[in-house]
Chains A and B, each alone.
Chain A
Amino acid sequence: MSFVGRSDAERRAMLARIGAPNIESLWESIPKEFRLSEALPLPGPLAEYEVARRFEQWAERNADANRYACFLGGGIYDHFIPAALRSITSRSEFATSYTPYQPEVSQGTLQVMFEYQSMIRELTGMEVANASMYDGATAAAEAAHLAAGATGRKRVLVSNGLHPHFREVLKTYASAGGFEVADLALAGGRASAAAIARQTGEAIAAVIWSQPNFEGIVEDGKLLSDAAHAVGAYSIAVADPVALAILTPPGEDGADIVVGEGQPLGVPMSYGGPLVGFFAIRKADVRRLPGRLAGATVDLDGKRGYVLTLQTREQHIRRERATSNICTNQGLMALANTVQMALLGAQGMRDVAVQCLERAHYLAARLTEIPGISLANADAPFFREFVVRLPGSAEAFARAALERRILAGIPLARFDRTRGNDLLIAVTEKRNREELDRYVETAAQWTRTAAAKPAAEAACRS
């Protein structure tokens, strides 16, 4: 099997034109001791149908959200993706092109970037959005880096309500030396503005908070931004783009940078990647912005067109003085975001958000009617995700629910050993009444039969 179209006669003619006696002579500059004398120890080629069969077998071993009712969240959600979106994102014209280095033959990609930037700006309530980052976690890390550069300070307060993985990535990026991470405690499940105000000892570069936070709770962004500004720090919101269809945009709350994971907007869960991070700022910081940026201009005839702009910020021009080492955006995923927002429109986006909200609250209400099950954060407003406290091991319940074709949620023991009975449950617009009621029945039955057993010591892996 090969994707090379070449006859022996052509190969001979090409070597003759080159003036090479044989093909091996072309790589005589590779010293002999580094050349492979034998074929790689790998299996031989397979026909398409054989390859497809192997992958089908692998795929079948997974309990996917087509066959199981998925209540897993934590930043990655099983939202509705219209067929029209898949049709557009699988077009060769978008999928097999590259970074628009030649704008005259890349206007499709560039205009999509421009429209993406426009809609992210609208959703976040900010002034400038870039053409996207690898994922929400690295976008948050780049935001911390920007704030440290802009304020000349290093200490970044990160809410414990931020996704634990995001916090880990922040710590990895911080270890590079551009900024330092300190934890911001929660009070009543929410990021504490009072704790920010108490940080008088050291100069704070930024406060990073999550909207909604990891446990689904809607934060008071205004309170947090005001507290951040009061200590001279940037307010950085890590926001959920679906929630932003109904929640106050962080920009209106006073956030200076808004980033987040774009997967909920038309990107398949795909076992956690590829994802896409959005990144929005105030205009004053535009020259500190990492990543690609599309801008409108005109061509020689005065016709509207788009180019990559402010490229002097970037590594291929500025080298070690670049704002980031990032090379590309996450083009195809940003396209998916753009198409999703276009297809759903303002009202459709709102409908999705409202259905998540309503369905999540329906499930939470029904579950807490079951004796022994309560909400971990009883009084806090939540969006599409909430934590229930079960009368036994959340991991054991999740395992039991698999038998009813339910992926029940994320046991929080994964992140905090002391929370063996807590389960993070996400409910999207796709979870219909039958699935919600099946969940409630499953929980009721499990509570009756298994609840008496104490929570097993759960392995903590974060």
Chain B
Amino acid sequence: MPELTLKELSVPGHRGPRLTPLDVPAQGAERLIPADRLRRAVPALAEVSEPVAVRHFVNLSTLNHHIDKAIYPLGSCTMKYNPKLNDEVARAPGFAMLHPLQPEETSQGAMAVVWELQEWLKAVMGMPAITTQPAAGAQCELTAILMARAYHRDRGDAREEVIVPDSAHGTNPSTVHQVGYRVVTVPSGPDGRVDMGALKNAISKKTAAMMLTNPNTLGIFETHVGEIATWIHGAGALLYLDGANLNAMVGLASPGAMGFDFAHINLHKTFSTPHGGGGPGGGALCARPELEPYLPLPVLEKSDGDRYRWNYDRPRSIGRVHSYYGNFGILVRALCYMRTLGGTGIAEVSREAILNANYLKAQLSEAYAPSHPGYCMHEFVLSASRQKARGVRALDIAKRLLDFGMHAPTTYFPLIVDEALMIEPTETETKASLDAFAEALLKIDRETIEGPDRAKAAPTKTPVRRLDEARAARRLELSWQDTEADGGAP
């Protein structure tokens, strides 16, 4: 049986936790608010007791795969273990019950946390300016491209284009378009890196910036990044690092030294904050001094005597991108993680992540065609082209993996690899876990030699079997009100 919806569990009159009765004289809503401004009936929400609500959500939770259960090797998502101390620390009332507009003298501890985190991130990135206001990586990109435009405008320079490699995440071209620049796509060469010839042709005085993911989404380091930076800067443009794959570089290499002018960090990837079923993320955007004036408002400052203040007096700023100071609760967790590991522990992260990826790649590269030969960084891409010839697609392999109690890799991305399976194990998987994952994928490959049926029928051991996505898009049943209007069951 599927878990019922709250609406189906609802019994009129059932109640959860209640309030203390009103201890001031009641006047009545009807006297305080004009009658035509009052809701005619109470909203038709669920009516359940606390135990029923708790069971409902606990039952639902058991239907999820999650990192505390087993490997979650989604490429470019960095699903690493989320240390428990991070959450415990962030739940302290001194952080969780703090209002963002308190007098600054009553929130110095919170500001100190943000400051400390910013200092650590600047050291990791090798860049001197930072904001931690964006809510996620995609919002960092938007912030960055707005900053790039402000930078060019200040120089009286109307630029029109942003260069994006064809292996980039979808957020890159989407962001560029949102800011009103034209996307110029450069292809990847045979080695999986930016095609330097094509790049040379793409760069012009119209180029505002280039967005580069390094290592790229194929898990390959863009070895020519120094040259790319020289060319981009030569045209008066800016080089942006999409930091989605930072887990391959922390403590190993310095994005600042590579010539990046600005770069984002996904705290929920590299710095272990929980992904929360799709959010909250946490974004940080680092920049060179020339771009510092354009950072979003406000910027955190520290004066002598360890006093912190938010500076709003920054006339060249692009403005505010979040209601307050960003996802503070996530910032606390990220700093907690960094503070626990220390500088030395952080450097170990990328080394071990790269080792894990290469170990998996070595085990899988005979059965599955790797997109590119050689060592990879923290992730790699396999093509299910051989399996496709046997009638089994990347999607089927992903579904079959679920039957082993493991999460599937990212599929069909990057777009430039046929039947892509993009695998990022992260450093927190043990050898035993990687062996089990490789064994499962090798077994699935052997099954495809016998025939496609097993993979096509998968998954069979999950809470539901394959779901009809076309039907969902056609019928658009997006709420229980829609279900009721349709006469019940979907």
A-B contact list, 21 entries, CB within 8 Å? A2-B341, A18-B362, A27-B252, A30-B252, A43-B339, A52-B85, A93-B61, A98-B72, A104-B459, A129-B479, A136-B323, A163-B323, A220-B36, A246-B38, A274-B280, A316-B170, A322-B177, A330-B276, A346-B44, A348-B19, A358-B26
Q: How far is A123 from B41 in the complex, measured between Cα atoms in Å?
A: 11
Q: Given the known inter-chain contacts A88-B61, A104-B402, A357-B32, please indicate yes or no for A76 contacting B138, CB distance below 8 A.
A: no
A201 at the B interface (CB under 8 A): no
Q: Given the known inter-chain contacts A95-B82, A107-B464, please indicate yes or no for A325 contacting B469, CB distance below 8 A.
A: no
Interface residues of A in 341-396 (CB under 8 A from B): 341-352, 354-355, 357-359, 361-362, 381, 383
A227 at the B interface (CB under 8 A): no
Contact of B89 among A4, A11, A52, A345 (CB under 8 A): A52
| Chain A residues within 8 Å of B66, by CB | 92-97
CB <8 Å contact, B83 and A3? yes
Q: How far is the CB of B218 from chain A (nearest CB, A)?
A: 12
| Chain B residues within 8 Å of A40, by CB | 123-124, 251, 343, 346-347
Q: How far is the CB of A370 from chain B (nearest CB, A)?
A: 17
| Chain B residues within 8 Å of A63, by CB | 102, 106-107
Chain B residue nearest in CB terms to A28: B375
Contact of A87 among B54, B109, B325, B399 (CB under 8 A): B54
Interface residues of B in 326-364 (CB under 8 A from A): 326-330, 332, 336, 338-349, 351-352, 354-355, 358-359, 361-363
Q: How far is the CB of B133 from chain A (nearest CB, A)?
A: 9
**Stretch of A110-118, A191-199, A444-452 at the chain-chain interface:** A110-118
| Chain B residues within 8 Å of A1, by CB | 340-342, 345
Q: Given the known inter-chain contacts A1-B341, A97-B277, please indicate yes or no for A59 contacting B109, CB distance below 8 A.
A: yes
Chain A residue nearest in CB terms to B322: A135
| Chain B residues within 8 Å of A346, by CB | 42-47
Q: How far is the CB of B437 from chain A (nearest CB, A)?
A: 14
CB <8 Å contact, A246 and B29? yes
Q: How far is A92 from B332 in the complex, measured between Cα atoms in Å?
A: 18
| Chain A residues within 8 Å of B355, by CB | 11, 14-15, 18, 23, 26
B141 at the A interface (CB under 8 A): yes
A175 at the B interface (CB under 8 A): yes
Further 11 A-B residue pairs, CB within 8 A, beyond A63-B102, A361-B27 = A2-B345, A43-B343, A51-B336, A62-B106, A84-B16, A107-B464, A118-B480, A134-B136, A165-B323, A344-B16, A351-B19
CB <8 Å contact, A176 and B322? no
CB <8 Å contact, B67 and A96? yes
Chain B 270-313 against A: per-residue CB contact (8 Å), 1 yes, 0 no?
A: 00101111111110000000000000111000000000001011
CB <8 Å contact, B39 and A248? yes
Interface residues of B in 166-201 (CB under 8 A from A): 169-171, 173-180, 183
| Chain B residues within 8 Å of A117, by CB | 478-479
| Chain B residues within 8 Å of A399, by CB | 103
**Stretch of A153-161, A166-174, A229-237 at the chain-chain interface:** A166-174
Chain A 130-149 against B: per-residue CB contact (8 Å), 1 yes, 0 no?
A: 01101111100000000000
Q: How far is A45 from B490 in the complex, measured between Cα atoms in Å?
A: 53
CB <8 Å contact, B178 and A178? yes
CB <8 Å contact, A62 and B64? no
Q: How far is A355 from B355 in the complex, measured between Cα atoms in Å?
A: 58
B101 at the A interface (CB under 8 A): yes
| Chain B residues within 8 Å of A208, by CB | none
Contact of B43 among A55, A122, A165, A222 (CB under 8 A): A122
| Chain A residues within 8 Å of B95, by CB | 55, 58-59, 62, 64, 270-271
Q: Given the known inter-chain contacts A33-B226, A105-B65, please indicate yes or no for A273 contacting B490, CB distance below 8 A.
A: no
**Stretch of B231-239, B381-389, B425-433 at the chain-chain interface:** B425-433
| Chain B residues within 8 Å of A169, by CB | 319-323
| Chain B residues within 8 Å of A220, by CB | 36-37
B468 at the A interface (CB under 8 A): yes
| Chain B residues within 8 Å of A414, by CB | 101
Q: How far is the CB of A157 from chain B (nearest CB, A)?
A: 19
CB <8 Å contact, A327 and B254? no
B416 at the A interface (CB under 8 A): no
Q: How far is the CB of B383 from chain A (nearest CB, A)?
A: 19
Chain A 257-290 against B: per-residue CB contact (8 Å), 1 yes, 0 no?
A: 0000100000011111111100000010010000
CB <8 Å contact, A296 and B472? yes
Q: How far is the CB of A108 from chain B (nearest CB, A)?
A: 4
Contact of A72 among B99, B251, B327 (CB under 8 A): B99
Contact of B278 among A129, A172, A292 (CB under 8 A): A292
CB <8 Å contact, A343 and B53? yes
B113 at the A interface (CB under 8 A): yes
B142 at the A interface (CB under 8 A): yes
Q: How far is A320 from B172 in the complex, measured between Cα atoms in Å?
A: 8
Chain B residue nearest in CB terms to A461: B312
Chain B residue nearest in CB terms to A366: B24
B398 at the A interface (CB under 8 A): yes
Q: How far is A175 from B274 in the complex, measured between Cα atoms in Å?
A: 32
Q: Given the known inter-chain contacts A100-B277, A298-B490, please indicate yes or no for A34 contacting B99, CB distance below 8 A.
A: no
| Chain B residues within 8 Å of A54, by CB | 339
| Chain A residues within 8 Å of B393, by CB | none
CB <8 Å contact, A5 and B138? no
Interface residues of A in 300-345 (CB under 8 A from B): 300-301, 303-307, 309-310, 314-322, 324-333, 335, 339, 341-345
B463 at the A interface (CB under 8 A): yes
Q: How far is the CB of B394 from chain A (nearest CB, A)?
A: 13
In the A-B complex, the 7 residue pairs with the smallest Cβ-Cβ separation, listed nearest first, are A59-B94, A272-B324, A272-B100, A42-B343, A332-B276, A61-B109, A45-B342
CB <8 Å contact, A268 and B16? no
Q: How far is the CB of B111 from chain A (nearest CB, A)?
A: 9
CB <8 Å contact, B326 and A273? yes
A249 at the B interface (CB under 8 A): yes
| Chain A residues within 8 Å of B136, by CB | 134, 326-328
CB <8 Å contact, B110 and A58? yes
| Chain B residues within 8 Å of A91, by CB | 58, 61
| Chain B residues within 8 Å of A349, by CB | 42-43, 45
Interface residues of B in 239-258 (CB under 8 A from A): 248-249, 251-254, 257-258
B369 at the A interface (CB under 8 A): no
A103 at the B interface (CB under 8 A): yes
Contact of B33 among A327, A348, A357 (CB under 8 A): A357
CB <8 Å contact, B17 and A2? no
A455 at the B interface (CB under 8 A): no
CB <8 Å contact, B312 and A295? no
Q: How far is A59 from B328 in the complex, measured between Cα atoms in Å?
A: 13
Interface residues of B in 72-92 (CB under 8 A from A): 72, 74, 77, 79-83, 85, 87-92
| Chain B residues within 8 Å of A358, by CB | 22, 24, 26-27, 32
CB <8 Å contact, A347 and B490? no
CB <8 Å contact, B93 and A65? yes
> Which of B16, B343, B407: most chain A CB closer than 10 A?
B16
Q: How far is A138 from B481 in the complex, measured between Cα atoms in Å?
A: 27
CB <8 Å contact, B330 and A301? no
CB <8 Å contact, A118 and B106? no
Q: Given the known inter-chain contacts A42-B346, A297-B469, please indicate yes or no for A273 contacting B327, CB distance below 8 A.
A: yes
Q: How far is the CB of B114 from chain A (nearest CB, A)?
A: 9
Q: How far is the CB of A339 from chain B (nearest CB, A)?
A: 6
Q: Given the known inter-chain contacts A27-B252, A245-B43, please indicate yes or no for A345 contacting B48, CB distance below 8 A.
A: yes
Q: How far is A40 from B169 in the complex, measured between Cα atoms in Å?
A: 29
Q: How far is the CB of B62 from chain A (nearest CB, A)?
A: 6
Q: How far is A298 from B467 in the complex, measured between Cα atoms in Å?
A: 6
| Chain B residues within 8 Å of A326, by CB | 136, 138-139
A421 at the B interface (CB under 8 A): no
| Chain B residues within 8 Å of A270, by CB | 90, 95-96, 98, 328-329
| Chain A residues within 8 Å of B88, by CB | 52
CB <8 Å contact, B45 and A104? no
Q: Given the known inter-chain contacts A3-B81, A96-B68, please indicate yes or no for A78 contacting B99, CB distance below 8 A.
A: yes
CB <8 Å contact, A14 and B359? yes
| Chain B residues within 8 Å of A34, by CB | 225-226, 253-254, 257-258
